[in-house]
């Protein structure tokens, strides 16, 4: 989908004892797994560990892991993160007389119409659109109703894209 997460250890010296480097990396991965906004996995994050501090009594693998996870989560929250959703490439084949109704229905589902052309065999219209997957639930029933059962559609994964800001705010409120 996007770029993988990275952990880059650039520590020099002994402020963080080398035996805790793996715990710092695990803490980063913990934060990557549950994200900053809605508890979903994140991607495209690069964490650079440059320095830190340890304590003879209080330092442990778990302390470094927890500290690193909390630091990464805080940094992610302050970095303008976005919630992504799958976007589908949708092809709809319909008789020409239903084109307007079907295009209007796709637009209501936040579809971005890419093309609308005559089918190769001239029997109808092929409409190509990009639509968020969450907006495609129930579409087969709607298409049947719009076309008197004469329409067909296919969809396949295209990419992930950021959800609209109002949707992201709503999802974030539900998670917290």
Domains of the chain, with CATH numbers? 6-77 (3.30.230.10), 84-167 (3.30.70.240)
The alpha carbon dihedral of 162, 166, 167, 169 has a sign of: positive
The pLDDT of 35-40, averaged and rounded, is: 81
pLDDT digits (tens, 9 = 90+) for 111-142: 999 999 998 888 899 999 999 999 999 999 99
Q: What is the pLDDT of residue 1?
A: 55
Q: What is the pLDDT of residue 117?
A: 94
pLDDT digits (tens, 9 = 90+) for 66-78: 999 999 999 988 8
Spatial CB neighbours of 116, under 8 Å, sequence gap ≥ 6: 99, 103, 125, 126, 127, 128
Q: What is the pLDDT of residue 176?
A: 76
């Amino acid at each position: 989908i996007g770029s993988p997460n990275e952990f880059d250890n650039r520590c020099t010296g002994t402020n963080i004892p080398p035996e805790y480097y793996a715990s710092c990396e695990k803490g980063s991965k913990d934060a990557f797994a549950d994200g900053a906004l809605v508890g979903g996995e994140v991607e495209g994050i690069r964490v650079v560990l440059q320095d830190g501090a340890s304590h003879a009594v209080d330092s442990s693998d778990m302390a470094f892991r927890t500290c690193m996870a909390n630091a990464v989560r805080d940094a992610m929250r302050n970095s303008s993160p976005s919630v992504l959703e799958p976007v589908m490439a949708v092809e709809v084949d319909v008789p020409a007389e239903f084109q307007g109704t079907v295009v209007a229905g796709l637009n209501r589902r936040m579809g971005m119409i890419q093309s609308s052309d005559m089918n190769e065999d001239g029997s109808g219209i092929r409409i190509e659109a990009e639509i968020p997957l969450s907006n495609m639930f129930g579409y087969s029933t709607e298409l049947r109703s719009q076309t008197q059962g004469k329409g067909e559609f296919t969809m396949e994964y295209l990419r992930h894209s950021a959800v609209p800001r109002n949707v992201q705010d709503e999802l974030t409120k539900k998670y917290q």
